[in-house]
Amino acid sequence: MKIWNLLEPAVEYLFPALCIHCKDSARSDGFLCVACRNELLSDVQNGYRPQDLVLCLFRLTPVVRSLIHALKYQGMTAVASYLVLAYPGLLEEWGIANVWIPVPIHPGRLRERGYNQAECIARALHSRVGGKVLCGILKRSRYASSQTKLAAQARRWNIAGSFTARPPAPEMVVIVDDVYTTGSTTAACESALLRAGARSVRVLTLAYEPKGGAKDDWELDQAFWRM
C-alpha cells in the first residue's frame, strides 16, 4: 500500500483518466475535461420548468447524458453531487421545510445496481440546501416495464398505479429523480403521496428531456440487465 501511495501520482500523470464524455482528453475535475466542463456550464440557465412545481437543473445535452449514464450504469455515484453543485441557480427555497423523497427503483434493479441513483441525488440536494431525505415511504407496488422505450400515452398507462405511499406522508415533499421526460413517473408518485396525506408536492430532477425520446437510455438499461 505504501509503495502504491508513492507511485499513484506518477501513474496518474502518465496515464490520466479520460473525460467520461469525449474520452479524448484528461479529466480536469474528476469527471470531465476542460472543454466538456465548459460545454456543460455554457448551457446552464436557471433550470427548466416543464410543469408548475417542477424544476429540472439541466437540459439533457450529450454531456449531461454521459454524466447520468455514469451515475446509473457505471457506479459513479459522486456524479449526483457533481451536477447538483455545478448548478448555479438558487435551490435554497427547495430545501427549507421540505422532505426529499427519491423515486424508488424496482428491487431487482436495486440488487443488481447496489444503489438507487435518485437517492444519491436526494442526498446531494440535502447536502447543498438542507431539508431531510426520506426513503421507504414511497414504494413500487408492482413492476412496470422500462419507461424509456415508450411514447407519452403508453408511459402513463405503464406506470399508473405502480407506486404506493405509507401514511402519514409529510405535508411538504419534493420528489427526486434523474430525468424528467413526460412526467408520468413523478405524477404517479405524486398521486400516491397525496393519497397518503401530503399537501404540497414538488418535483426536482437533474435533467429534462424535452423531446420525450430516450432510445439510448433504454438500450443501455437492457444491456445492464444482460450483463
* Same domain for 61 and 19: no
- 10/60 Cα distance (integer angstroms): 36
- 85/128 Cα distance (integer angstroms): 7
H or E stretch covering 203: strand 200-208
* Same domain for 176 and 191: yes
* Same domain for 177 and 79: yes
* Same domain for 64 and 167: yes
* Same domain for 38 and 52: no
Write down the pLDDT at residue 170.
95
Write down the pLDDT at residue 3.
55
Show the cell assigned to 126. 440535502
- Report the number of distinct structural domains present in the chain: 2
Write down the pLDDT at residue 143.
52
Show the cell assigned to 86. 455545478
Write down the pLDDT at residue 157.
36
* Same domain for 161 and 112: yes
* Same domain for 163 and 75: yes
Whichever domain contains 49, its CATH number is 3.40.50
* Same domain for 54 and 32: no
In 9-160, DSSP assigns E strands to: 54-59, 99-102, 132-133, 138-140
Geometric angle at alpha carbon 42, from 25 and 130, rounded to 5°: 100
Domain region containing 132: 45-226
* Same domain for 151 and 137: yes
Contact call for residues 122 and 133 (beta carbons, < 8 A): yes
Write down the pLDDT at residue 161.
58
Write down the pLDDT at residue 109.
84
| Amino acid in the structure at residue 43 | D
* Same domain for 20 and 91: no
* Same domain for 65 and 11: no
Write down the pLDDT at residue 151.
46
Contact call for residues 186 and 103 (beta carbons, < 8 A): yes
* Same domain for 187 and 160: yes
- Per-residue pLDDT of the chain (227 residues), as tens digits, is 445 444 444 444 445 799 999 999 999 999 999 999 999 998 887 889 999 999 999 999 999 999 999 999 999 999 999 999 999 988 988 877 789 999 998 888 888 889 999 999 999 999 999 999 999 999 987 554 444 444 444 444 335 457 899 999 999 999 999 999 988 899 999 999 999 999 999 999 999 998 654 444 444 444 443 43
